[in-house]
Structures are given as C-alpha cells and as structure tokens.
C-alpha cells in the first residue's frame, strides 16, 4: 500500500518532492521518483509483499521504456505472472507491480480485465509517449487529477496535488450542494473546481495532449433464478476464496471484529487458513450498546488474539487531524472511531481485513427495509394523505421544522424510487438548503436541485427498485464515503485495509442473486445468513443488525455543542459567505424543536437528524480552514 503522484507537462523537481512529502504517511518504508523530459513520477512505499529494496518504485521493465507508480494489491498476480512467463516475459522481482508492467506490454489497456485486487496506478509508456492511469473496479484505492493548459497532475490524495501552487483552491458550489445533501461529492467532481477524481472501474489515457477516459467495468443485474441453497453456497465459496486471497502478506495481519455477521464471517474463513489471527473491537466510553459481548463470543469461538479498544470522549479533539487525513470533506460520524481503532491496531498489525461492502451487495442497510416496506404498503395510504394532508400539517409548523417537510416529501414521492430515496437519505434536502444558503451561495449554485439530478441517472441502471438502490450505493456512497474513510483512516497510520466482500467476482455474483433472497421481509442479508449457518453461532446470525455509528447526542453531550458553537458562530466562522448565520444559530438549538422533542429523540437513529447536519457543517468548516485558508491544525479548535 502506497502513495503515488506525478505530472506531465512540466519539469519541476521541487514540486515533485513536495508532492511526495505530502504523502509520507502513506508509505514510510521507502521512496523513489523518476523523471524524464516529459514525465515525473513519485512514490511512497508501505512494504507489504516482497520487503526487499529490489521492489523499489517507480518500477521499470527490462528495457526501461515503461515506468509505473502503483498503489494497491493484485491478489492474483502470481497466476498472471505464470501466464506472462509462458509468453516469454522476464521478471526481476516477485512483485505485483512488475506484473502490471508486463501485462500492459502484452495486452495494452485491456490488461485491466486480468487484475483481481485494489489498485490505482500511473504507467508511462515512453515509446508511445502515453500516460495510462487506472483505478480498481470498486474504487477501493483513490486517484485524483488536474488537467489545465497542457499540464496534467495526478496523486493518491488532493493534498499532494495542491503542492503545485498553480491549482486554485476554489470551491465548486455544485459539489458543495452535493456534499450538503449526501455527506460526500457525487461522480468525478471534487469539492475543488479544478480537481477531478478518476471514477471506479475507469482508466485514463493522456496522449498527444488529449485526455481520454473510458469505463472498463460495470455491474449488470441479471438474476440467476436458482435456489436459495445454490446462491448461499456460491456466496460461501466466493467469500472464502476472497478471504484466502487477502491473506497474502509478509507483515503482521489482523481483522476488525464487531460481532456482526460481516466481520464474523471474515474471521471464520480466516481461521480456515491461519491460526494466527489478531482481532480488534471498538466501543464508546459510557455507551451501553457497545459490541464487546458479541465480538468476544466470535473471538473465543475462533481462538483469536482479541483486543478491545474503548474510545474516550476527548476524541472530539482529533477532528482537525482526522479531517486533514480524510483529504475531502466527508460528513461521516464514524471517522473518529475509525481513526482511533486503526491507531490502536497499528501497534500489532500492518494489514487489516474489514467487512465493508457487505451492506451494499447484500442489502443490509435500513434504507432497503424502509423503501421496501413503503413501496409495498404505500397503496394503503390514500394519495390525499400522502401528498396533501401531511404536507399541509408540516406547513403549519415553523419553517425550521424541516424533518416534517422531509417526511411529507418522502411519502408523496414513494412511487419514484430516486426521489423517495433522496428524501430518505439526504442530510440537507433542497428545502433545507434554501434556508441554509446565503444569497450569494444561492445565486452561485444556480440549480439547487442539482444534487438530485446528480443521482437520478444511477437509478436507471436496474429494473428492480432494490437493485437500483444497490447500484447507486455501490457507485457513489461506497467509494466516496465508506471506502474513502477506510483508505484514509488506515493510511493515516501507515496501514493497509482489505475488504473481502468487494472481490469483484463476489460483487458480480451478488448482482445475479434475486433481491428477494437478500432482503426477505424484514430480514436483511438473508442469503449471507444462510451461507454462514452452521459456521457462525446462531446468536450472531440471528442478531438484529446494529449499524456502527457515533452516538453523538449521548456521547459528546455538551462538549459537542460547545465545539459546534465555537466553529459555526462568529468570530471564528469563516464560511459565512456560503451560509445563513441566523439559520445555523437556530439549527444549533435543534433540541428545542417540536420534531426533535416529540419524535426524533426517541429513536437511536432519528435523533441524529439535526446533529448530523451540524456535523456536516463542522466538517466543511474545518476542511475549509485547513485546505483553503491554510490554518494550522493546532489553531482550529
């Protein structure tokens, strides 16, 4: 696992060194660079496989006319290497990096279809004067670029690209509009106008100063219509093979263990291949719903070396450091516990397996259950009630009572999957953003519904509404929030995170499983639970899903309120040009609202409705101070 960077169109050793330096934490074990008249490549290495210095990057072929800077793991590289050797290719290392070079020599850009793994790389073909960049199918590894006036810059993180002083740190208001709705930015845009991300499953070629981007992989929903026994057996087989592939390592390796079915399944299959398993569980100080009990049962069954990590309330002070490492503003409440568990796990392991991706491919989130229930039973509610009565009641309340407005929108739009999903998951919807934005921001956004427009196209890729949600979340939420958090929080501690549920073979197969076998009535991940029957304890399989989230209202209490007010009110508030200060002050007093007192505070998830809005604003404020204003981390809070 590494950090890569470089550029085409200038010769500037000082900038290259600065870009590499900004990625030091991603690869503390070694570093290297390559430059010629056309290209500069930089690399920071975290040694995982083949620890010898001979594996140094940027790496070249035997003729030194192809060079690569690469981040990731190709788990099937040994099989590919054998085939390439049969075709006459000669290798001087035992690395997946060199396999990519020779696969490119043999198959050009079509080599991407061979690779099973997580990767982002930049390959320079000096004969053809061609720069070839690619990102793995699911977007596990990040890759960003800047292209303007003949200058092309790329890197694993935005902070590296920003080392070139010519990049304007100008906010894209369209991206800000996305962020406020979903906690992350949709598509190939980033929060900064001039910096793009290469999408998952895409490659980029720069040749003759012309940029061409192509999709090389996608998900197709074509049900196999086979039995539950067949599908659960295939899931079990593919997941076991995926775990085995991800155990390749020359450094200590472990797993996160929550006691839920995802992480428990990974640990169970790890036991088939190794007896040396270290597992880690995190809990919140003073929070009664910690997962220690369930995790310890799984750890005991599979005889792991288990560590329990208790997160203290003082962890809120880590926010500036965490947001610096997140690199993009992502309003995800779980970044604090993620940062802390990897910080502790690094004392014991360098590679860690995680259960991320299971909820997306097995329909494990509550939005699947809510949407399914609503679709099936909304016909029992008269249209007048859905579209007019609830909306009318909402309009009788103060306009700040936006939770009721959103509920009426959800019920009124239930026949349109993309619209109702937007109402269900958006942090700030269009109505709320009209209250939040300053006049300047409203004028700059142009189309306040552009956040919905950005997601609507994803819902046309499947016929079944549950599959539509799955496609959207695999293409957006997963890479731009979940996997971004995994990458940034592991790399902040020079660790490599691996996600067995996102082996592309398992993902492709999951798209052939009928949705009725994933979500059966109110039982999520039904086919996975069937697959793990007899392997995991019944208590784990039948356990009600407990989403991992930060209990912000209970856990932070007055400290959260104090920090939020300090950041979002004058004189410290720097984003008053974007936001209505009066509305934010009212939002900070959300516990006085009728919607909170009467309904929201009585449900563990709903009570975060307004606090996660505040969290998103705090995240953007801190991110802006670091990456736009250039304020030092120690002076922000």
Pick the closest to residue 329 from 163, 453, 190 (CA basis): 190
Are residues 568 and 618 in contact, defined by beta-carbon separation less than 8 angstroms?
yes
Alpha helices in 378-416 (DSSP H): 383-384, 390-396, 402-412
Pick the closest to residue 352 from 276, 272, 278 (CA basis): 278
* Residue owning tokens 């996997």: 483
Structure tokens, 293: 């009990």
Report which DSSP code applies to 224: -
* 111 among known catalytic residues: no
DSSP conformation letters of 432-477: HHHHHB-HHHHHHHS-TTHHHHHHHGGGGS-SSHHHHHHHHHHHTH
Strand order across the beta sheet in which 39-45 lies: 30-35, 39-45, 2-8, 151-155, 144-148, 196-197
Structure tokens, 282: 């995190």
Pick the closest to residue 240 from 261, 262, 270, 275 (CA basis): 270
Strands 305-311 and 278-284: parallel
Pick the closest to residue 352 from 319, 307, 321 (CA basis): 307
Residue 225 to residue 113: CA distance in whole angstroms: 27
Kindly name the residue from 2, 5, 111, 203 that is annotated as catalytic.
Answer: 2
SS3 state of residue 152: strand
Residues whose CB falls within 8 Å of the CB of residue 488, separated by 6 or more in sequence, listed in order = 325, 326, 327
Percent composition of the chain: helix, strand, coil (DSSP 3-state, to 5) = 50, 15, 35
Structure tokens, 583: 């509305």
Alpha helices in 476-632 (DSSP H): 477, 483-491, 504-510, 515-518, 526-531, 538-541, 552-555, 557-568, 581-588, 594-598, 609-627
91 burial type by CB count under 10 A (0-12 exposed, 13-18 middle, 19+ buried)? middle
* Residue owning tokens 């750890």: 299
* Residue owning tokens 């998830």: 605
Are residues 583 and 575 in contact, defined by beta-carbon separation less than 8 angstroms?
no
CA dihedral 214, 216, 221, 226 (to 10 degrees): 170
Prior bond of 449 cis (ω within 30°): no
CA dihedral (602, 608, 610, 614) positive or negative: positive
Catalytic residues: 2
């Amino acid at each position: 696992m590494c950090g890569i960077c470089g550029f085409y169109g200038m010769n500037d050793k000082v900038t290259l060194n600065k870009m590499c330096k900004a990625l030091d934490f991603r690869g503390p074990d070694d570093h290297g660079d390559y430059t010629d008249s056309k290209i500069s490549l930089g690399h920071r290495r975290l040694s995982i496989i083949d620890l010898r210095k001979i594996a140094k990057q940027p790496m070249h072929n035997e003729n030194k006319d192809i060079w690569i800077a690469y981040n990731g793991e190709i788990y099937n590289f040994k099989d590919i290497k054998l085939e390439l050797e049969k075709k006459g290719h000669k290798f001087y290392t035992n690395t997946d990096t060199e396999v990519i070079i020779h696969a490119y020599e043999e198959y050009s850009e079509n080599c991407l279809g061979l690779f099973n793994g997580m990767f982002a790389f930049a390959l320079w073909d000096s004969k053809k004067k061609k720069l070839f960049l690619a990102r793995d199918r699911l977007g596990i590894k990040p890759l960003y670029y800047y292209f303007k006036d003949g200058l092309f810059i790329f890197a694993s993180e935005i902070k590296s690209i920003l080392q070139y002083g010519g990049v304007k740190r100008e906010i894209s208001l369209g991206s800000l509009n996305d962020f406020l709705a979903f906690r992350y930015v949709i598509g190939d845009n980033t929060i900064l106008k001039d910096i793009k991300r290469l999408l998952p499953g895409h490659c980029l070629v720069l040749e003759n100063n012309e940029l061409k981007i192509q999709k090389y992989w996608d998900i197709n929903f074509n049900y196999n219509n086979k039995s539950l026994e067949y599908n659960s057996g295939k899931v079990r087989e593919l997941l076991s093979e995926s775990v085995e592939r991800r155990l390749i390592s020359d450094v200590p390796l472990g797993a996160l263990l929550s006691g839920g079915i995802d992480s428990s399944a990974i640990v169970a299959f790890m036991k088939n291949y190794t007896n040396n398993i270290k597992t880690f569980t995190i809990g919140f100080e003073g929070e009664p719903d910690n997962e220690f009990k369930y995790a310890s049962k799984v750890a005991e069954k599979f005889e792991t070396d288990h560590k329990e990590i208790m997160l203290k309330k003082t962890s809120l002070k880590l926010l500036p450091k965490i947001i610096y490492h997140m690199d993009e503003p992502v309003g995800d409440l779980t970044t604090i516990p993620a940062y802390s568990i990897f910080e502790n796990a690094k004392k014991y392991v360098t590679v860690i397996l995680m259960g991320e991706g299971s909820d997306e491919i097995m329909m494990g989130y509550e939005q699947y259950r809510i949407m399914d229930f609503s679709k099936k039973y909304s016909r029992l509610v008269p249209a007048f009630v859905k579209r007019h009565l609830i909306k009318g009641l909402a309009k009788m309340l103060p306009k700040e009572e936006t939770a009721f407005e959103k509920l009426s929108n959800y019920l009124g739009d239930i026949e349109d999957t993309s619209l109702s999903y937007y109402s269900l998951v958006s942090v700030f919807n269009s109505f709320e953003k009209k209250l939040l934005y300053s006049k300047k921001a409203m004028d700059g956004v142009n189309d306040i519904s552009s956040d919905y427009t950005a997601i609507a196209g994803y819902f046309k890729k499947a016929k079944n509404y549950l599959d539509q949600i799955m496609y959207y979340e695999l293409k957006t939420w997963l890479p731009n929030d979940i996997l971004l958090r995994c990458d940034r929080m592991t790399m902040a501690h020079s660790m490599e995170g691996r996600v067995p549920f996102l082996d592309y073979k398992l993902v492709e197969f999951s798209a052939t499983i009928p949705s009725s076998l994933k979500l059966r009535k109110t039982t999520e991940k039904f086919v996975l639970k069937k697959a793990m029957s007899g392997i995991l304890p019944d208590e784990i399989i039948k356990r009600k899903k407990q989403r991992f989230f930060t209990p912000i209202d209970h856990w932070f209490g007055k400290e959260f309120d104090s920090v939020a007010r300090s950041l979002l009110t004058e004189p410290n508030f720097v984003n008053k040009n974007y936001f209505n200060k009066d509305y934010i002050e009212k939002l900070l007093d959300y516990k006085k609202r009728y919607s909170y007192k009467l309904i929201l505070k009585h449900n563990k998830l709903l009570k975060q409705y307004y606090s996660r809005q505040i969290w998103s604003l705090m995240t953007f404020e801190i991110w802006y101070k670091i990456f736009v204003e250039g304020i030092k981390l120690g002076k922000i809070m």
